[in-house]
Chain A
Amino acid sequence: MKPFPYFLLGVALAAPAAVQAQPSFAAPPPPATVVQDAGLRREQYFSRIDEAINWRNSQVKRDNLATMDMTAIACKLVRHEDIEACSARVIELMKDPGTGPFWMFPVVCVAYTGRGLLSPEAQAAIRHAWRTTMQIRGDTENHWAMYYTSLYLMAELYPDEPAETWYTGKSSAENLAESRAYLISWMDLTTTVGQGEFNPTGYITEYAIPMVFLASWAKDPAMRQRGHMTLDWLFADLAENTLHGVLRGPNARTTDIPVMERWNDHASFYSWLLFGNTPPTAGYGGFGLYFAVAAKNYDVPEVIYRIAMDRDADYVQRDLKRSRRRWRFSDVLSSPVYKTSYMRRDYAVGSYQGGAADPIQTHVWDVTWAVPDPRGVHNDMFSNHPYSSPDQLQAWFPTYPELMIPNLPAEGKPSYDEPDKILGASPYEQVFQDLDTVVALYNIPPGIRYPQINGFFSKDLADFSVDKSGWIFARGGRAYLAYRPLAPYTLTPYRGYLQLPSNEGYKWERVATGDTLLQSPHLKNGTIVQAASQDEFKDFAAFKAAINALPLTFSLEPTPTVKLKTLRGRDVVVTYGQPPVVNGQPLDYTKWKLFEGPYLNAEKGSRKLTITHGRLERVLDFNTLSITDSILP
């Protein structure tokens, strides 16, 4: 099956068809074998890095310098190839500089890989742009990580230079101090109360790139170490949240394509590069090439590699994250996000407690099943409330209510104001998960735009059937799935978003994906999902019988409430607006740790993450800026 197409970020290709000429993108999926030999693991990692760089360099046409953008220049420089052309192209590109983090980090990459290679004129052109061109800092967590890492590295590259030589009007020392202070404060926040843009399917690249640059090129060993430790932190989180390389479960930010085709975003490029356990996305993730340029300065530690690759038991992982900061209409700047993952060999269930983590792009919960080749497969199931509200946007953005929603499609968020969207969190959704049981309840006030619940049913489900009991049964890969809508619904074809070529912002066309959308237009509502492995039952009929036999009572008025004995024998009572009760014990989120599971553990506020696999342990301690690798007895 072909992956859902979309355009590459930041890569000017010789021809769109070239995207197809990528060895690992086009090849069969890699075997899921654990590489035991550290030397071999490193060799394979390096060969994947080289593959990405070779591919990018192969796209450059010497007779068409337009094909030589900053990714190509960086890839050429790291190979010490076509240096004169690189210098000429840098001079050309610096005549018309851009602004903002997405312009800054590629230039930093070229400036560093070009040390001692680029002509003095080319280096001067880069330096000149940093004097004359105002750089927008942006307004998201990832923007600031890129902006301040870029400013930090450029200020270190050109130390002791006066304020008038920088667009900020600040001296090298001032720029360095400001950048360092922000980066440390961000690391402090992330390592005490959690990342804001947690588990992003695409934005992972906007964190990985600046951190690998910091780990590679910062002169200050403390900042190098911080970069390295933050990469470990990020990739440990990635490893524990992937199913055979596919990032699943909730995401602070994602988009309409990867929320249905879970493999199809940059996180898979990093799984491929670091773990070699899934194919890379088209064009090696576009921006991912910038990571590749510096990637040989980083080796993923064996303990993280094994968390991604080598699991011998099902596990539950609970993590603490935080929402994006709210400027207004909220009692707290950033509210806690309580995340649960239950990982098994054939499927995984993940969720957080509901409510908005990001105003537009959040994915709250799903069941994702393993497939031999994830490309083009829509391997998940979930429901959501398609919330759209100017007030919501005002809470997070310093904007007026009217203008933003109409602009969102052109800014890459086409579905925000669509009633059939499958992306986005709602303040009227509350989710509880116990192992592979999810109960999502909805209590939508009257007058809310789009008073309905959407349930996503993949084209790749097998044996889809609506049971007279009210349960909907289906098979996804080797996972048996039972979905119980708590209010009447209709089933209609789902239409996805096909990006069209455009030079004036994003343009989209709605296209049928083959999937089905359950729409339940009722304010008081809910979804129950129960998953199991086919190995647990004699056949699918036996699974259905077991589900139908589960004691279940629910009511929607006055407040949605569900009483259920799960397939795992837990007595669960979930009432909208109240703590869930499991076997008579109310769930106490205040006791949630920053990480708690067999692999990742950290106390809230600790700045210290313990990564464990078998007898391997790595401790990242930001209090002492230390990395400790131990072998447990």
Chain B
Amino acid sequence: MNSLSLLRPAGLRLLALLTLPAVGGLAATPAAADFYICAALNKGYVTGSKITTISGLFKRGADGAWQHIGYNDMSITAAAFDPRDHNVIYTAALNGCWRSLDGGLTWRQTNDWTITEGRDVAVDPNAPDQVYLALPDGIAVSHDRAQTWTRRENGLPDRGKYTQTIKVDRSQAGHVLAGCETGIYLTEDGAAFWRHVLPTTDAVNDIEQSYHDPKIWIAVTQSAGAWRSNDGGATWTKLAGVPSDHTLYNVTFDPHHPQRIALGGWDAGVLTSEDGGKTWINRTAGLPTPHHVWRVGIDPDNGLLYASVVKQTLFTSSDFGRTWQRGPFENSTINDFISLPRAEK
């Protein structure tokens, strides 16, 4: 992996992109959520060469256009927001964790050299000064909006604590799930202690909480398929019908339809369930081959299903995967979809 290069100085930038078709009448109703993506656009970039693309954090505007926010950062892996004020932004990236307090106009690299290659970042909605950072060598926690970081790895193994994803339970402060190299770890005390709740042989790539029942979580893995928890992550059951023969990169719930869930993965393509995960259908048809689906996401406002296909574009489906339309972001990998209840700021 090489260091990256930048096209232009950072700043707010508007991309003239397709305005996306709406589903039903949802787009006509006032948007209830903010919707962001972390996009990396690479057109043959290697170390020392020129980046000819804009990458980083994008916000979906009311008109469906994507607005670039902040630095052009091809290394961005995830983003999180302060629920009280969406101008407070945290991004996980190669340098560690960046923070903006002004909606992306200015940024601070919150960490020093002892933290690198942030994989995921999460804010506790019930204690918004608490920020959790997933790292290749463990987990760091901040109690002051990422001004300072402390390693919190009690209960994680000395080796095998590579952490790919971290998520905070919106229903309980300090209740956090971490997807690591060796499985899923749960803390119920703000990372003072981690409990190993699901062992795996390879990394857990994503863990998501249902919008409709905070006790329900689904996790996807590199080599062990998908798993479901009905008790807030304490215990896990393998999802039948989801194959384990391909890496699954992420999972997403539909904010409007409790029974709708989507998974994405390399060669696994797009898998959807419309019965709360009981049965799964491969909805890859219509996406370009090879079916290297990087991430899936669901628009909180209009229910569009998104699929990021490696080195292709962001594809959209207005019928939950039955048909697909080619969208923007040529040569992209979308690393994260973030939908948030709209904040006052």
Contact with A along B147-187 (1 / 0, CB 8 A): 00000000000011010100000000000000001000000
Cα distance, A333 to B159, chains bound together (Å):
8
Cα distance, A222 to B316, chains bound together (Å):
58
Name the distance in Å between B149's Cβ and chain A's nearest Cβ.
13
The 5 closest A-B pairs by CB, nearest first: A504-B44, A169-B108, A100-B3, A138-B3, A99-B6
Which among B72, B73, B106 is the interface contact of A164 at CB below 8 angstroms?
Answer: B106
Contact B5 A99 (CB under 8 A): yes
Cα distance, A133 to B51, chains bound together (Å):
13
Cα distance, A168 to B43, chains bound together (Å):
26
Q: Does A181 sit at the interface, judged by CB under 8 A?
A: yes
Please provide the chain B residues from 5 to 55 with a CB less than 8 Å away from any CB of chain A in the complex: 5-11, 43-51
With contacts A97-B6, A100-B47, A506-B46 known, is A137 near B116, CB below 8 A? Answer: yes
Contacts of A328 in B (CB 8 A): 136, 159-160, 162, 181, 203
Q: Does A1 sit at the interface, judged by CB under 8 A?
A: no
Cα distance, A333 to B161, chains bound together (Å):
12
Cα distance, A64 to B147, chains bound together (Å):
48
With contacts A328-B162, A411-B47, A412-B46 known, is A133 near B6, CB below 8 A? Answer: yes
Number of interface residues of B (CB under 8 A): 55
Q: Does B313 sit at the interface, judged by CB under 8 A?
A: no
Contact B3 A327 (CB under 8 A): no
Contacts of B203 in A (CB 8 A): 328, 394
Contact A97 B94 (CB under 8 A): no
Contact B113 A98 (CB under 8 A): no
With contacts A164-B106, A182-B113 known, is A129 near B247, CB below 8 A? Answer: no
Q: Does A589 sit at the interface, judged by CB under 8 A?
A: no
Contact A170 B108 (CB under 8 A): yes
Q: Does A630 sit at the interface, judged by CB under 8 A?
A: no
Which among A103, A168, A397 is the interface contact of B109 at CB below 8 angstroms?
Answer: A168
Q: Does A143 sit at the interface, judged by CB under 8 A?
A: yes
Which among B5, B73, B113, B222 is the interface contact of A181 at CB below 8 angstroms?
Answer: B113
Seed contacts A169-B109, A181-B112, A400-B205; 17 additional CB < 8 Å A-B pairs: A99-B72, A100-B3, A137-B116, A143-B3, A144-B113, A164-B106, A169-B98, A169-B99, A178-B113, A328-B203, A332-B159, A402-B267, A410-B44, A411-B1, A411-B2, A505-B45, A505-B46
Please provide the chain A residues from 484 to 529 with a CB less than 8 Å away from any CB of chain B in the complex: 502-506
Interface of B is mostly: loop
- CB nearest to A177 among chain B residues: B112
Q: Does B310 sit at the interface, judged by CB under 8 A?
A: yes
Q: Does B249 sit at the interface, judged by CB under 8 A?
A: yes
Contact A102 B3 (CB under 8 A): yes
Contact B119 A398 (CB under 8 A): yes
Contact B9 A97 (CB under 8 A): yes
Contact with A along B108-120 (1 / 0, CB 8 A): 1100110011010
Name the distance in Å between B204's Cβ and chain A's nearest Cβ.
12
Which among B48, B51, B162, B267 is the interface contact of A102 at CB below 8 angstroms?
Answer: B48
Which among A10, A148, A169 is the interface contact of B106 at CB below 8 angstroms?
Answer: A169
Contacts of B68 in A (CB 8 A): none
Contact A397 B310 (CB under 8 A): no
Q: Does A173 sit at the interface, judged by CB under 8 A?
A: no
- CB nearest to B294 among chain A residues: A403
Contact B222 A133 (CB under 8 A): no
Q: Does A26 sit at the interface, judged by CB under 8 A?
A: no
Contact A102 B44 (CB under 8 A): no
Which among B43, B50, B99, B162 is the interface contact of A98 at CB below 8 angstroms?
Answer: B50
Contact A168 B3 (CB under 8 A): no
Contact B72 A134 (CB under 8 A): yes
Q: Does B71 sit at the interface, judged by CB under 8 A?
A: yes
Name the distance in Å between B245's Cβ and chain A's nearest Cβ.
13
Q: Does B75 sit at the interface, judged by CB under 8 A?
A: yes
With contacts A143-B3, A503-B49 known, is A398 near B10, CB below 8 A? Answer: no
Contact A139 B3 (CB under 8 A): yes
Contacts of B299 in A (CB 8 A): none
Contact B95 A136 (CB under 8 A): yes
Please provide the chain A residues from 1 to 31 with a CB less than 8 Å away from any CB of chain B in the complex: 9-10
Q: Does A330 sit at the interface, judged by CB under 8 A?
A: yes
Contacts of B10 in A (CB 8 A): 132-134
Q: Does A578 sit at the interface, judged by CB under 8 A?
A: no
Contact with A along B245-258 (1 / 0, CB 8 A): 00101000000000
Q: Does A163 sit at the interface, judged by CB under 8 A?
A: yes
Contact A138 B94 (CB under 8 A): yes
Cα distance, A137 to B118, chains bound together (Å):
12
Contacts of B45 in A (CB 8 A): 505
With contacts A134-B71, A400-B266 known, is A129 near B50, CB below 8 A? Answer: no
Contacts of A168 in B (CB 8 A): 108-109
Contact A402 B136 (CB under 8 A): no
Q: Does A47 sit at the interface, judged by CB under 8 A?
A: no
Contacts of A329 in B (CB 8 A): 181
Name the distance in Å between B289's Cβ and chain A's nearest Cβ.
14
Contacts of A138 in B (CB 8 A): 2-3, 94
Can you list 14 contacts pairing A with B, beta carbon distance less than 8 Å? Answer: A99-B6, A134-B71, A134-B73, A136-B3, A137-B3, A147-B3, A168-B109, A169-B107, A328-B162, A330-B159, A394-B203, A398-B119, A400-B205, A402-B292
Contact B4 A100 (CB under 8 A): yes
Contacts of B49 in A (CB 8 A): 503-505
- CB nearest to B50 among chain A residues: A98
- CB nearest to B4 among chain A residues: A136
Contacts of A403 in B (CB 8 A): 266, 292, 310, 333
With contacts A137-B3, A144-B113, A327-B162 known, is A400 near B47, CB below 8 A? Answer: no
Contacts of B51 in A (CB 8 A): 98-99
Cα distance, A147 to B116, chains bound together (Å):
13
Cα distance, A168 to B113, chains bound together (Å):
12
Q: Does B208 sit at the interface, judged by CB under 8 A?
A: no
Which among A100, A134, A401, A411 is the interface contact of B222 at CB below 8 angstroms?
Answer: A401
